[in-house]
Structure 1
Amino acid sequence: NWMDDEPSARIIEKGTSTIVEKEFLTLMDSSVINSWGTAYRWDFGDGSSPQGPFSDSSISHTYARPGNYQVRVETTDNWGNRAIGKYLVVRPDCLYYPHVATVNDWETEICIINSSNRSTITGDFKAYADDGTLVSEINDVVLSPRARREITVGTTFTDPDRIGYIIFTANSDTIVGYTKFYCSGDYRVAIPAVKELNHDNIFISHIASDDNWFTGLSLVNVTASARTLFIESDNSLKRTLVLAPGEHKALSIRSLFSNQPQPGIKSAVIRNSAGIIGLELFGSGQQLSGILLQDHSTKEILYPHVVSTDAWWTGVVAYNCTAEVGRFDFTTFNAAGKILSTVHQNLDGHDKFMGSITSLGFPETTAWFRIKSSQSMTGFELFGTSNGLQLAGYSSIKLSATKGVFAKLEKQGFTGIAMVNASSLKARVRLSAYSDDGHMVGSLETINLAGYEKVVKVVEELFSSDITNATYIIYDSDRKIVGFQLNGSNDGMLLDGLPALR
């Protein structure tokens, strides 16, 4: 196996490398191999397939996740002489905030949390303009164990009006965070910060572009190479979008079509998305929400909270990511974890299911539900008020975990938290509240959940002690839990939702 041979050539990393896209060059001893007619085969050490043979001695590769990777190259000349080289590349841990808005009464809040109870994190914030040039930075940021830092971009960074996106580079993978946009008390939306780059097609499971609703996209190319994105809608409309290295573009769906609404577009796929991060915003009137644009898919999604009253509605989206017909099984549960109903539905390839809890016909006592599918799918959930003033949503993909962070406790309103035991076995969940300096506030609380049981409460009711000075909560469990939070303002105007971060 050539990837296991001892090295006799040398790989160097070129100066044009970025945090995530590494550019390599092979240097060889001419006494070992003749440079004429040389072919190069590469293995990048991240589980991707070996690449080549190529005639060029240099190559670039995007690493979607942080880590240390052993790169190896096999060089062979026309005479059959062979040389092997290796190189250890380090892809640092990063948090990406893929959109910043600080103009026309808009402001952006970003947050970073060190979820470790042992290690101190150090890192740097770097803020970039839409064209990828560095605008400003905050260096040597230190977060002690469990510490949290919340930053208002417009008052903390220099030249905030020029900032399109922000990257935090750290020495640890225990960082989590979010981005929050808000506008003069009229709009607010919170979205998790990005920890992993996309490396496959991005599925936009829901698009609303008509006289009442808009959909906006924010996309960033964090690699050192230009990316040509191919956007294909479910009604076969196609558009091409080119992103230069480091470039950020914010656009609406209608802007791709001569600024005309596109009511016929319900979903889309963005192809050639390796090294791209982004988010999607959708809104109507005073309602605004959004989710990350990701290449994640799964065959099981848990929707941990539903509400259907005169004042509130719940909207659900499930999208078939494949070209094949899929069988989708909807199973509803009450708060105690008892199965109430199971409904089967087939969904065509690249089609979606969308509806409210009322239109789904779920039993009245439904507290949460699960979808299992024969095909890969993605999906999200929306909560809104019937008066058209509040809207919040979050992606439902890959939420089950034994540890998580509820990243912000609302001080000018309420924070509600819902947790579902994703297992049929009893779960023991421990909750700890912390202040920004990393100190624990109040006492440790333990909640026992039966199989598939759900708990939903405002945060103060989850603790027997006073947690007034706490700013966030960490949970850990002996079973996988699906959790999310809703934050609302006292005046009933603003709402945002976040899944438990990890």
Structure 2
Amino acid sequence: MKRLLIFFMMISPFFFAGDYYLPEVLNGESGQTHVGILNPNRDAVTIEISGYDTDRNQIVSDVLTSLPGFGYAWLSVGDLFPASGVTISWIHINSASDLDVVAQLEMTGQKSVYRASTALGNEAYLPHIAKNTNMFSTTISAVNGTSSGVTTIMQPKPFGNSAFIEEHGQAYGKGSENVLEYWSDLSEINWVYMQSTETAVAAMEYFTYNEENKMAALGLNAQKGKKLRFLHVATDTTNFWTGMVYINVSAYEVTATETYYGAAGNVLKVHEQVVPAGAKVTLLFDANNQDRVPAGTAWVEVNSLVSMVGYELFGSVNGGTDQTFAGIEGSYSGMNRLYYPLWGASSSEWTGFIAVNIGELTDDVTFYLMDVDGNELASTQKLGLEPNSKTVFLGADLFPDTNLWEQGAWVRMDGAKSQWAGFVLRGDHGGDMRDYLVGVNALPGKNDNIKPRVVLIEDFSASNCGPCGSMDRELDESNFWENYPTTAKVFIRYGTWSNDPYYTTHSSSDMRDRADFYGVGGIPTMLVDGIYEKVGAGGVYPFFSTRIDQRRALPADYDIDLNVNFESGEVNVAVHYPGSIQSGTHRLRVAVLETEYTFSAPPGSNGVRTFHGNMLDMLPNGVGSELTGSAGGTQNFQLQYSPDALNIHPPTKFAVVAWVQNDTTKEVMGVAYQEK
């Protein structure tokens, strides 16, 4: 039995929304392929699935034309294209909405999964050429996904003569050749750069090994990034090995920083590696190689000033009892939701769900077992997962109700505060020998159950402060107010000096409370959600935009309901507590603002006429009201201000902002805003 390792790579980051390509499928005597299609949207989607046979004819499947919200389909190529005598060579799936598409290649006793490419492009990085041709053969498969001919050239790195894929001269042509058909000497070839004259090509590579009954597949999806993560390192080096590779595909030499993490999130080692342009770095971790990769490593992060391409392989040791082998692409991004497109729990099969907290915050997560119709069958919550930690959960442990196992189709994980990356492994329990292991990265997404965070900006300023005026003009000229409306941020300006028009009998003591709270020693001083401080003018817009975007990606800890009667000045606030409460003293603060006012002439020496978010009063004062409720509960507050006393520029454009702040850490944990 041959061992088939498939490297799949989509060409170039030119994305067509809703287009997915499987450049290689097994069907007929060579084996079979199952296609998994997941709809990660809450709404139903329509789907068109086309197969291309060996004569480049298009066959449109009518077996699956839609999926419900969160729906899933798992169908063989034979099911999708039941006509007799048809040999499907490659598949294109189209939808108006995003999907997650994977393919499971199957041979006798063997299975392997890779993710479909999400675009056509005009370049690709084929990362592996097996140089030992006595034991391995490497095949490059590439399709021209368009209705016209193109020219595709392959350039071996670092040395070798260029070669052409002749089949791409025809519409929908597929070339699939052993690399020895292109180059007779592989000794100086580490990887291959593929380039096409048009945005037309999807490609993959695979290699076979005849001595052991193993199969592994790897999808690369044309991704690359300056921050690359290898999410899996097999710590049991007695029985398993792990190989990680990253390639500098830029034209510049760069120093990459490798950080090795333990499962608990602790840093085991930091290594600086000079990587010449076009160079390939290999990290091997097994019983005989533990110098570069330290013992106990659970995952690795590589940072660089240029984009890198990465992938990893892992499996049972050669000569061992088990026959397992798998590959996954490098991880380049994370979000607060993960879609795991595989499931299996039975007496013969297991599934493992791996989650890595790549963010900065401790988080609680919830796993949901989903069926093919998008229904939630069961859920399990895991609390207190630390930053940089990696956790492995067996599907049977997450969802122990055996009555649900056959109904399950896939798994969703929802985080709360942090950013997550992950992958899923599936294998057989076996007896004396385990036959297969398949793996694929989890698809990151946005947790739409979380109410978006509103970010609070506090600005200590004055109309006679020159740098404050420079800051105001920078924000105006950069369209800050238009780019970040009050649905994204709330801006509070504290008039700090006694000659400022907003330094009044109502606001002055509250302003001093807030300045003392932060220890403000000079102006302008700006705080984003209480924890990010900038002092002085210059670079204000990049500072705000970066921090606002970072904070917007996180959910609020507290949900706040705000109801203001602007005629009477009555303010009602309901603070809804989270399921678990951070340590520290938490307070509610409420400020009455004038949203914006433009003076006919500058009121101060810095020349500024228009002022935003001017604090008029704080309720009951700048110190605020301490929260005394319990987790999961609600605490209500009723406050009052005088609309007549604060009507300084009739008719004043009033607004009220309420926020909860942890006075111990200064972090703002939830914001509510209402304008008149």
TM-score for both structures, normalised by structure 2:
0.57
51, 56, 60: which one pairs with 1:132?
56
Larger relative strand fraction: 1
CA contact (8 A) 1:105 1:184 kept: no
Q: Is the aligned partner of 1:372 residue 2:303?
A: yes
- How many angstroms does 1:106 deviate by? 0.6
Q: Is the aligned partner of 1:499 residue 2:441?
A: yes
Q: Specify the alignment match of 1:452 in structure 2.
A: 388
CA contact (8 A) 2:357 2:386 kept: yes
1:11-53 deviation line (CA, Å, top 9, x unaligned):
xxxxxxxxxxxxxxxxxxxxxxxxxxxxxxxxxxxxxxxxxxx
Judged with a 3 Å threshold, the aligned counterparts in structure 2 of structure 1 residues 160 and 276 are, in CA distance, closer, same or farther, namely: farther
Q: Give the residue type in structure 2 aligned to 1:371.
A: V
State how 1:387-398 maps to structure 2 within 5 Å: 387=318, 389-398=323-332
CA distance in 2, matches of 1:296, 1:422: 18
Give the aligned CA root-mean-square deviation in angstroms.
2.3
1:401-450 deviation line (CA, Å, top 9, x unaligned):
32221111135422112111111222332211111222211224344321
Q: Per the alignment, in what secondary structure is the counterpart of residue 62 of structure 2?
A: strand
Q: Is the aligned partner of 1:65 residue 2:3?
A: no
Q: Is the aligned partner of 1:150 residue 2:74?
A: yes
Q: Give the residue type in structure 1 aligned to 2:126.
A: I
- How many angstroms does 1:255 deviate by? 2.7
State how 1:75-90 maps to structure 2 within 5 Å: none
- How many angstroms does 1:189 deviate by? 1.7
- How many angstroms does 1:222 deviate by? 1.2
Q: Runs of 5+ in structure 2 lacking a partner?
A: 1-11, 445-676
- How many angstroms does 1:215 deviate by? 2.2
Q: Specify the alignment match of 1:474 in structure 2.
A: 412
Judged with a 3 Å threshold, the aligned counterparts in structure 2 of structure 1 residues 295 and 171 are, in CA distance, closer, same or farther, namely: closer
1:364-389 deviation line (CA, Å, top 9, x unaligned):
22211111123221111111111462
Larger relative helix fraction: 2
Q: Specify the alignment match of 1:213 in structure 2.
A: 136
CA distance in 2, matches of 1:474, 1:191: 19
Q: Give the residue type in structure 1 aligned to 2:49.
A: F
CA distance in 2, matches of 1:101, 1:108: 5
CA distance in 1, matches of 2:16, 2:253: 35
CA contact (8 A) 1:311 1:387 kept: no
Judged with a 3 Å threshold, the aligned counterparts in structure 2 of structure 1 residues 163 and 316 are, in CA distance, closer, same or farther, namely: same
Q: Runs of 5+ in structure 1 lacking a partner?
A: 1-61, 68-92
State how 1:178-197 maps to structure 2 within 5 Å: 178-185=102-109, 187-197=110-120
State how 1:259-274 maps to structure 2 within 5 Å: 260=184, 262-272=186-196, 274=199
Q: Specify the alignment match of 1:315 in structure 2.
A: 243
Please identify the structure whose Cα radius of gyration is greater: 2
Q: Per the alignment, in what secondary structure is the counterpart of residue 336 of structure 2?
A: strand
Moved more, 352-361 or 369-378: 352-361
- How many angstroms does 1:146 deviate by? 1.6
339, 354, 360: which one pairs with 2:282?
354
CA distance in 1, matches of 2:125, 2:442: 22
Q: Per the alignment, in what secondary structure is the counterpart of residue 109 of structure 1?
A: strand
Judged with a 3 Å threshold, the aligned counterparts in structure 2 of structure 1 residues 164 and 447 are, in CA distance, closer, same or farther, namely: farther
1:288-312 deviation line (CA, Å, top 9, x unaligned):
3232354322111111121142111
CA distance in 2, matches of 1:447, 1:139: 42
- How many angstroms does 1:316 deviate by? 0.6
Q: Specify the alignment match of 2:512 in structure 1.
A: none
Q: Specify the alignment match of 1:302 in structure 2.
A: 229
Aligned length: 410
CA contact (8 A) 2:61 2:80 kept: no
Q: Give the residue type in structure 2 aligned to 1:346.
A: V
CA distance in 1, matches of 2:35, 2:223: 23
- How many angstroms does 1:239 deviate by? 0.7
Q: Specify the alignment match of 1:332 in structure 2.
A: 260
Judged with a 3 Å threshold, the aligned counterparts in structure 2 of structure 1 residues 239 and 105 are, in CA distance, closer, same or farther, namely: closer
- How many angstroms does 1:250 deviate by? 2.2
Q: Specify the alignment match of 1:383 in structure 2.
A: 314
8, 21, 37: which one pairs with 1:96?
21
Q: Give the residue type in structure 2 aligned to 1:428.
A: D
Q: Specify the alignment match of 1:282 in structure 2.
A: 207
Which structure would you say has the larger RCO, counting Cα contacts within 8 Å and 6 or more residues apart?
A: 1
Judged with a 3 Å threshold, the aligned counterparts in structure 2 of structure 1 residues 213 and 335 are, in CA distance, closer, same or farther, namely: same
CA contact (8 A) 1:102 1:160 kept: no
Sequence identity, in percent?
22
Judged with a 3 Å threshold, the aligned counterparts in structure 2 of structure 1 residues 248 and 448 are, in CA distance, closer, same or farther, namely: farther
CA distance in 1, matches of 2:90, 2:333: 25
Q: Per the alignment, in what secondary structure is the counterpart of residue 305 of structure 1?
A: coil
Q: Specify the alignment match of 1:88 in structure 2.
A: none
Q: Per the alignment, in what secondary structure is the counterpart of residue 332 of structure 2?
A: coil
Q: Is the aligned partner of 1:177 residue 2:101?
A: yes
Q: Is the aligned partner of 1:433 residue 2:369?
A: yes
CA contact (8 A) 1:154 1:161 kept: no
Judged with a 3 Å threshold, the aligned counterparts in structure 2 of structure 1 residues 474 and 321 are, in CA distance, closer, same or farther, namely: same
1:54-83 deviation line (CA, Å, top 9, x unaligned):
xxxxxxxx994335xxxxxxxxxxxxxxxx
Q: Specify the alignment match of 2:180 in structure 1.
A: 254
Judged with a 3 Å threshold, the aligned counterparts in structure 2 of structure 1 residues 176 and 314 are, in CA distance, closer, same or farther, namely: same
Q: Specify the alignment match of 1:240 in structure 2.
A: 164
Q: Is the aligned partner of 1:485 residue 2:424?
A: yes
336, 348, 358: which one pairs with 1:422?
358
CA distance in 2, matches of 1:154, 1:136: 13
1:326-371 deviation line (CA, Å, top 9, x unaligned):
2121111111111111011111211101131243523322211111
State how 1:394-405 maps to structure 2 within 5 Å: 394-405=328-339
Q: Give the residue type in structure 2 aligned to 1:493.
A: D
Moved more, 133-142 or 422-431: 133-142
- How many angstroms does 1:484 deviate by? 0.6
Q: Give the residue type in structure 1 aligned to 2:264.
A: A
CA distance in 2, matches of 1:284, 1:446: 41
CA distance in 2, matches of 1:303, 1:447: 24
CA distance in 1, matches of 2:205, 2:299: 25
